[in-house]
Structure 1
Amino acid sequence: MLSRTIIRSPGRTFSTSTAMLNRCIIYTQNGDPAQVIRAITYPKLPSPPPNTVNLKFLLSPINPADVNTIEGVYPSKPSPTSNIAASGLGSQDKPVFVGGNEGLAQVVEVGEGVKGLKKDDWVVMDRPQLGTWSTSRNVPFHGVIKLPATGLTEAHGATMTVNPTTAYNMLDGFVKLQEGDWVIQNGANSAVGQLVIQIAKNRGLSTINFVRSRDDMGPLVDHLKSLGATKILTYDDLNDKSLRGKIKEWTGGKDIRLALNCVGGEPTTAISKLLGQDAHLVSYGAMSKKPLSLPTSLHIFKNLTSHGFWQTNWSKTHSRTQKEELIAKLADMMKENKIRAPEHTIVNISAQESDEEATAKIRDVFAKLAEGKFGKKVLLKLEDTAT
């Protein structure tokens, strides 16, 4: 007999269950996610060992890096898990990798020695590749960061540790920007680009945002303006010889000292030429899959500095206190509606679906992602499966 208890606290409703099994999305070899991932069911977690917590995942996104990890081409590699007893999987001879790097979880039970966390707290991940595409996991308590008690949506929490942190750190870590300064970026309609716009607006910064041209620019322009974009241009505008003069007029002659790049190729070369003295170009992606080419003259005569940025590396090189402070700042902005939750689609893997049905559903999601059929971020919600 399945029993269920509903626990309510300000702004949240929690559900805990007995006589339930767990489910996760796994792969045992690298390859096309639409072919190599599958859902498996495994036993309910035992009570947590000392210094660990049992988590129930509420919502977990699928990020491009997750796809690259499954394909085997991402620099950050997951560790195999050995605590999933299902059909002999999880042994040394049959390693299992649980997908998911980011997610929102609820603390279900704390082990001896755990400090600063209690049952029903919301947490986000502080370590990469913890396997967030799960109903429940047991993790070291230092592997998570506690969120504020109220005021955040599940979508905010689930998407907090990758894109918002990247946008914030790129705006904060390379140039001392003051209110009224300007930032230029390409890929402005990407998840990070939209967050750059919002965080910049909150800091009193103006943004020049480049996007790919399309037949109907109206909806995209309206959306980016609603986020706080100052100017919105297409890569075609980079061929306009009068652009430099227009930008000088917009900025009042002030040098632009920070450019953010996730595209690469010729558009980034053109954008770099719009920067002023002692500027910094920060690259965090290469969506065009073309190399970055910068004129030597920019380095010699304008003292341009080019950087790469990877949030995973930032997390490895900064203290836990710094990471907690960053999450707290972002949470405050989200609570005050200064950062919107991304437009998203929730894919629910229900308790009534068999592992075979769940596998077919999640593989179909990845096939559609590869074809570009999802225009929004995909968030996974896995329900416990009943015995």
Structure 2
Amino acid sequence: MFKVGVGLGNFTNIPCRFYSPSVKAKKLVFHEFGDPPKVVKFEEEVVPEPKPDEVLIEMLVASINPADINIVQGVYPIKPRLPGVPGNEGVGKVLSVGRNVKSLCVGDRVMPNTENLGTWRSHGVFKETSLMKVRDDIPLVEQSATHSNGATAYRMLKDFVALKEGDVVLQNGANSAAGQHVVQLCHIWGYKSVNIVRDRPNIAELKSYLTGLGATHVLTEEEFRKTELFKSGDVPQPKLALNCVGGKSSTELIRKLAPKGIMVTYGGMSREPVIVPTAMFIFKDIEARGFWITRWTNENRDSEERKTMLCELMDLIKENKLVAPTHKLVPISEYTEVLSDTVNPKGLRGMKYLFDFRL
């Protein structure tokens, strides 16, 4: 039996075989909410045969995002049933399909099409509707980031301000995974980006890296507070500011916005509130907005707008215009060290971790 693949890309004919080999999965599980390095445990299980509407997949890579950490901590708006497997993002390969499955075949590459799928596992059985077939001709790490980091950057640049070529976008946390996507998309679309990062011993190296991605300017928090960049007229005042830090950093972004500018908050890495001076609202008519990619996705899961976005992001990856954020691939056996580093409040690790189940 053969089917022609459909979805985000072109596929050749792939045989659809209905079989279920005996597979033992390695997975991470948490039975209670709390500190990830303490509550997440390693377990193994024999994977059951997929039911008629289910698919058995082998995970290839799975991202470790701040949202995953917040879910384990129990502070995220969406909470899984316990015991749960963390992980919202990743790329897998279909090993077996149930007899009623129509949209997927053995060998297809897939990504989650729902939240809380539980991707921190080597193998799993999932509903057909919880998976999305994706193209298999682009790198796994870049592809894994499209649904969260890439989509977050894309939507924030598209949905709040009608930007045109030469306009300025301001952001803090520019070395975050989403921030690096913002840098690249601004460069691709002809926007100027002013990027704020925290000072660190290798700041020159970080500035050079972000500039290489296409950043127009890169400043430390201290340099940004003192900058005359906008007053001098060398750079137009930004119409859009993107905030993933909060606290004093977000206040500084607000102060630099053009009149009627918009600041979009999508994270709070400092764990401090966003404080907007009253004068910014009254005299500059500034808007403070929020963005959550999970909410947007739930409202647009099957929309043409979402399909267009994902196709465009994957085309940019294929064309080598959009590269993965700084990252490190690690085996699942190193989960304790990875989680400990990820929850470090200093937040200067400067890279995104992904579990690589091929290691």
Asked whether the two chains share a fold, i.e. TM above 0.5, the reply is yes
Q: Between Structure 1 and Structure 2, whose CA radius of gyration is higher?
A: 1
Q: In structure 1, give the amino acid aligned to 2:235.
A: W
Gaps of 5+ in 2: 1-10, 13-18
TM-score under structure 1 length normalisation: 0.82
Matching residue's letter, 1:250 = V
Question: What does 1:203-282 align with in structure 2 at a 5 Å threshold?
Answer: 203-240=189-226, 242-246=228-232, 248-251=233-236, 255-282=237-264
Structure 1 residues 17, 173: closer, same or farther in 2, change over 3 A? Answer: same
Q: CA deviation at 1:46?
A: 0.3
Within 5 Å, which residues of 2 pair with 1:152-191? 152-191=138-177
Q: Identity of counterpart residues, as a percentage?
A: 35
The answer to whether the 8 A contact 1:147-1:328 is kept is no
**Residue 23 of structure 1 contacts residue 383 of structure 1 at CA under 8 Å; is this kept in 2?**
no
Structure 2 residue aligned with 1:379? 354
Whole-Å separation in 2 of the counterparts to 1:317 and 1:348: 34
Q: Which has the higher contact order (CA 8 A, sep 6+)?
A: 1
1:29 offset after TM fit, Å? 0.9
CA offsets 1:115-144 (integer angstroms, 9 cap, x no match): 432221111112111110112222222222
Q: Kindly provide the CA deviation profile for residues 359-384 of structure 1, in whole angstroms up to 9, marking residues without a partner as x.
A: xx422332343446854221113369
Indicate if the aligned counterparts of 1:99 and 1:132 stay in contact, CA closer than 8 A.
yes
Amino acid at match of 2:234: E
Q: Is the 8 A contact 2:52 2:100 kept in 1?
A: no
Residues paired across the two proteins, number: 340
Q: Which residue of structure 2 lines up, in the alignment, with residue 110 of structure 1? A: 97
Distance between the aligned counterparts of 1:112 and 1:209, measured in 2? 51
1:40 aligns with 2:26: no
- What is aligned with 2:269? 287
Offset from partner CA, 1:282-332 (integer Å, 9 cap, x none): 001112222111122222232211101111111111141333322211111
Q: Is the CA contact (8 Å cut-off) linking 2:176 and 2:350 kept in structure 1?
A: no
Shift of 1:78: 1.4
- Tell me by how many angstroms 1:110 deviates: 2.7
Q: Which residue of 1 aligns with 2:311?
A: 328
Retained in 2: the 8 A contact 1:145–1:324?
no
Instruction: Mark the runs of 5 or more structure 1 residues left unpaired by the alignment.
Output: 1-8, 11-15, 81-95, 350-357
Aligned to 2:340: 367
C-alpha RMSD of matched pairs (Å) = 2.3
CA pair 199-144 structure 1, distance change in 2 beyond 3 A: same
Return the alpha-carbon distance in structure 2 between the equivalents of residues 241 and 111 of structure 1: 60
3-state DSSP of counterpart to 1:320 = coil
1:241 and 1:56 map into 2 onto residues whose CA distance is 50
Alignment TM-score, normalising by the size of structure 2: 0.88
Deviations 1:220-243 (A, max 9, x none): 111001000001112112332634
